[in-house]
Structure 1
């Protein structure tokens, strides 16, 4: 009788790169943070969400504070990359550039219930503010400078009489407010309706270039 051969076992990949593991833990942190908030998020929750041991999270991030800081920095970089890429792909006209920035804030990759809940958790927690100011404020200032410059160019080309700094501030604050409103109002309206609302704001300031439906063809 021929001896039966044991079936070939396919090895299970248990190890992933350090960067991939940390990203896995950051994504798990975002899911927990969105559900439980800043104060109630614990390392044990993140470990359970990621399907790893408590010790593995400690190995990569040491403390809850460092894990949350890494999560905040990841989200800030994700936001920066989103709007800079959108701006780089836009046309040369300032109206096209403003349109790119408006759309970027409501891109489906970053304007999700999970992302918005995480941002609100960080914004509402005093202990995260010094970290944000230290690590993320330079990116905010870069965004504001770009938005003000685009508004100034569009005001000049369109013959508008607005103040560029105030106009840019209004557009930015409306966008931030819509993020908060989407989250707090739950299912009252969706991302597309929020985008139309921001276009309405742009249309008030730049009626030759925008309507509530978006950019007017140049």
Structure 2
């Protein structure tokens, strides 16, 4: 099936000389854009095919059902997000301040912090019928992220000799990040990723003022590390 060009009824000509994996990724990217534009429930295979410039039959060939396509799309987003923050953490310095800085910045990486991706995440989070699927596919990733953030905050609390529950601190920081993501999607006059990141660092600075200000690591901390 993959040796000729395919033209959907409403979409542009799209070369079909792609590997199976590349074709599936193309359709998943089209699904992300379609969910962002139409919402989770209203997305159809026909919508995705039209957006990708491919035939409905080709979408069926790769995913068979809407549920299969949406499941693979969520898996793709979850793995992309996990890879984004783990790679940022691996590239960070050894101190907990550097590691928290890297994790928070990773949430505003332009590769993942796009309107379409944030809208798709909000759609998956908000759709009651997909919550069991979300828990099955993303629960372990969320647990890994939360444990890592809690460990970093535990080390920061110990290093700064401050009082406070690191688990609750990590939770507040995580909720702040998720909240500004939601703000960027739902506010009538939304702010951009730069302001969102400053808001998140303001939260970190409230708990760890020696290490952070609204821009990230404080000048003193940057010199120290």
Q: TM-score, normalised by structure 1?
A: 0.93
Q: In 2, distance between residues paired with 1:39 and 1:173?
A: 26
SS of aligned partner of 1:136: helix
* 2:110 pairs with one of 108, 111, 129: 108
Q: Which runs of 5+ in 2 are unaligned?
A: 6-14
Q: Give CA deviations for 1:132-178 in whole Å, capped at 9, x if unaligned.
A: 11111001000000000000001101111111100000000010001
Query: Match for residue 11 of structure 2?
Result: none
Query: Match for residue 12 of structure 2?
Result: none
* 1:137 pairs with one of 131, 136, 139: 139
Query: Match for residue 76 of structure 1?
Result: 78
Q: In 2, distance between residues paired with 1:124 and 1:213?
A: 31
Q: Give CA deviations for 1:189-211 in whole Å, capped at 9, x if unaligned.
A: 11000100011000000010001
Query: Match for residue 8 of structure 1?
Result: none
1:31 Cα shift? 0.7
Q: In 1, distance between residues paired with 2:188 and 2:33?
A: 17
Query: Match for residue 10 of structure 2?
Result: none
Dislocated runs of 4+, deviation >4 Å: none
Q: TM-score, normalised by structure 2?
A: 0.90
- Count of residue pairs the alignment pairs up: 208
* 1:185 pairs with one of 178, 184, 187: 187
Q: In 1, distance between residues paired with 2:188 and 2:75?
A: 26
Task: Give the alignment's Cα RMSD to 1 decimal.
Answer: 1.2
Q: In 1, distance between residues paired with 2:190 and 2:39?
A: 22
1:212 Cα shift? 1.2
Bigger radius of gyration: 1
